[in-house]
């Protein structure tokens, strides 16, 4: 797991356990729930329905809750691909989802700045004003 995600999990978020091997620790989905509660994407009431168990029923119920929270926050999440990889403890699957969560949370917290409003003044004048030409052809050179 990259140190970027590891530092975020172990130092910025307050989880029930220190994260060393995310592929094993996140396999049942319970710690995903803790992460989502810590960043404010999952209510504590929904998290209370999650179980820290390795049974297939508990894993399925946990990932249903996690998926709902991710979809509510517009995170692109393919459950048919991601969940089997995470549950089978595939290397990097949990870290990949954690990185997506972290990046989406950072984007929500720090939206890009709005462009400045259009300028009300321009370099060009609205009208070109010239003194009227009354003596066409008269020139000082010929008058001398």
pLDDT by 10s per residue, the chain, length 144: 567 788 888 888 878 889 888 889 999 999 999 999 999 999 999 999 999 998 989 999 999 999 999 999 988 878 888 889 999 988 889 999 999 999 999 888 888 888 888 777 667 666 767 666 666 655 555 555
**42: Cα within 13 Å, side-chain hemisphere:** 27
Contact 5, 102 (CB under 8 A): yes
pLDDT of residue 132: 66
| 7 φ/ψ angles, rounded to the nearest 5 degrees | -65, -40
As a whole number of angstroms, the longest Cα–Cα distance in the chain is 110
44 Ramachandran zone, left/alpha/beta (phi>0; psi -120 to 50): alpha
Contact 98, 22 (CB under 8 A): yes
Model's pTM, two decimal places?
A: 0.73
SS3 labels along 21-37: CHHHHCCCCHHHHHHHH
pLDDT of residue 66: 93
Taken in order 14, 43, 27, 106, is the CA torsion positive or negative?
negative
């Amino acid at each position: 797991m990259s140190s970027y995600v590891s530092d975020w999990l172990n130092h910025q978020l307050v989880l029930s356990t220190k994260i060393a091997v995310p592929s094993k620790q996140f396999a049942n989905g319970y710690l995903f729930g803790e992460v989502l509660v810590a960043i404010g994407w999952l209510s504590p009431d929904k998290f209370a329905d999650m179980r820290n168990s390795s049974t297939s029923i508990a894993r399925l119920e946990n990932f249903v809750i996690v998926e709902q929270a991710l979809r509510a926050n517009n995170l692109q999440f393919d459950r048919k691909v991601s969940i089997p990889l995470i549950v089978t403890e595939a290397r990097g699957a949990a870290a990949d989802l954690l990185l997506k969560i972290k990046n989406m949370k950072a984007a929500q917290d720090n939206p890009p700045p709005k462009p400045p409003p259009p300028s009300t003044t321009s370099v060009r004048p609205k009208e070109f004003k010239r003194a009227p030409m009354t003596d066409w052809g008269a020139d000082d050179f010929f008058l001398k």
